Amino acid sequence: MIVTLKPAVADSELAAVKDRLNNLGCRLTEVRTQRGHYLIAGIHGEPDLRVIGALPGVLDVHRVSDAYKLVSRKWKAVPTTINLGDGVEITEGGLALIAGPCSIESREQMQAIITHLQQEGLRIMRGGAFKPRTSPYAFRGLRTEGLKLSHELARAAGIKLVSEVLSAEQIELMYDYVDIYQVGTRNSQNFELLLELGKVDKPVLLKRGMSSTLDELLQSAEYVFANGNEALILCERGIRTFEPAYRNTLDLNAIPALKEKSHLPVIVDPSHGVGVRRWVESLALAGIMAGADGVMYEVAPEPERALSDGQQTLCFPESSELIKKARQTFELRQRF
Ligand code: PEP
Ligand code: MN
């Protein structure tokens, strides 16, 4: 059960609501986020919700049978909009295009990408500075230096930056330079990291674990929300299957399913989802038709020379083509 409290709930009222729920045998978790104040009550049986709803200080009460509560659409009918400032947002029913390199490699590379994004009217750039690499000998990113230079260039161009955080210690290091923290597939169930991101007042883009079910992804999102941060974006990025013909299997089914289960925006990452440059565009468009609220993909000036994921990174003309077709596809979807 989710009990939403009024913004101005008095301490005495809150104590009375808690007493009432405790007397019903509820296990209580109090959640305060940027946007709201809630009590999550684990309960057996069928308490009369009207009685709780009528207590002073209570805004409303919902029964949510899912294991995840606060990220469930059963509770919140209004979709969540992630407002990044300066008129940039990621929202249900919109089309947020997020593009950039797999790894931030140099100032020249980032400036070239920013110029490309500006020409195409994109407002959000991706770029990894702390890279999770399978081999310890591979390029692992420019780290804070990379973030600093990307932030400086992106700010000057009015572009927002999303970058992956690998550990709780990096949250603070990254804070001044990113607009969105990305949690990658390998950390999708790193609960300690998720708890710490709950304490941050910047949005979190949470990727699906490569072998996570949708409910596991939503439970991970719940960790962040329940610890205070409700600015969340979900990302389908492909799962591991028995098929070796491509890097991952982009699970397009996940898009309508997640949107039905949750009020959070859902975006698609066709680059990691398929891992083959020439198929990225089709899957981006398929993701939009499946209902994605945005697409995040990899682009670089010279993909063949990229230090990571060059095989799935688009060059500028390919990216321009994708953007044009993505907008056309989005328009088509809106006409349905
Ligand atoms: C990335 O976006 O750079 C990345 C490493 O993605 P994933 O976690 O989906 O593999
Ligand atoms: Mn990559």
Regarding whether 168 and 20 lie in a shared domain, the answer is: no
Atom of ligand 1 nearest to the CA of 182: 2
Regarding whether 42 and 117 lie in a shared domain, the answer is: no
Inside any domain, residue 70: no
Does the beta carbon of 208 lie inside 6 Å of ligand 1?
A: no
CA distance 281 to 286: 9
pTM: 0.97
Regarding whether 294 and 222 lie in a shared domain, the answer is: yes
What per-residue confidence (pLDDT) applies to 293?
Answer: 98
Regarding whether 87 and 53 lie in a shared domain, the answer is: no
- Residues spanned by the domain of 252: 82-334
Does the beta carbon of 102 lie inside 6 Å of ligand 1?
A: yes
Sign of dihedral through CA atoms 15, 19, 21, 25? positive
Does the beta carbon of 272 lie inside 6 Å of ligand 1?
A: yes
What per-residue confidence (pLDDT) applies to 280?
Answer: 98
Inside any domain, residue 67: no
What per-residue confidence (pLDDT) applies to 44?
Answer: 78
Atom of ligand 1 nearest to the CA of 272: 9
Inside any domain, residue 24: yes
Inside any domain, residue 69: no
What per-residue confidence (pLDDT) applies to 43?
Answer: 82
Regarding whether 33 and 124 lie in a shared domain, the answer is: no
What per-residue confidence (pLDDT) applies to 80?
Answer: 93
**What is the chain's length?**
336
What per-residue confidence (pLDDT) applies to 235?
Answer: 99
Regarding whether 301 and 159 lie in a shared domain, the answer is: yes
Regarding whether 113 and 10 lie in a shared domain, the answer is: no
What per-residue confidence (pLDDT) applies to 202?
Answer: 98
pLDDT for 64-114, tens place per residue?
989 999 999 999 989 999 999 999 999 999 999 999 999 999 999 999 999
Distance 62 CA to ligand 1 centre (A): 35
Regarding whether 144 and 92 lie in a shared domain, the answer is: yes
Atom of ligand 1 nearest to the CA of 185: 8
Atom of ligand 1 nearest to the CA of 188: 8
Mutate to test the pocket of ligand 1, among 272, 298, 313 (most ligand atoms within 8 A of CB): 272
Nearest C-alpha to atom 4 of ligand 1 is from which residue?
184
Atom of ligand 1 nearest to the CA of 102: 3
Regarding whether 170 and 319 lie in a shared domain, the answer is: yes
Q: Which ligand is nearest to the CA of 126?
A: 1
What per-residue confidence (pLDDT) applies to 107?
Answer: 98
User: Number of structural domains, the chain?
Assistant: 2
**Sites in the chain below the pLDDT cut of 70:** none
Distance 34 CA to ligand 1 centre (A): 27
Q: How far is CA 332 from CA 269, 326, 329, 335, in A?
A: 20, 10, 5, 5
Which one, of 272, 253, 161, 146, lies nearest residue 207 by Cα? 272
Q: Which three-class secondary structure state does DSSP give residue 140?
A: coil
Does the beta carbon of 184 lie inside 6 Å of ligand 1?
A: yes
Residue 182 C-alpha from the chain's centroid: 7
Burial letters for 143-162: b for 16+ Cβ neighbours within 10 Å, e otherwise?
eeebbebbbebbeeeebbbb
Nearest C-alpha to atom 9 of ligand 1 is from which residue?
185
**CATH number for the domain harbouring residue 273:** 3.20.20.70
**CATH number for the domain harbouring residue 26:** 3.30.70
Regarding whether 189 and 280 lie in a shared domain, the answer is: yes
Regarding whether 165 and 102 lie in a shared domain, the answer is: yes
Inside any domain, residue 74: no
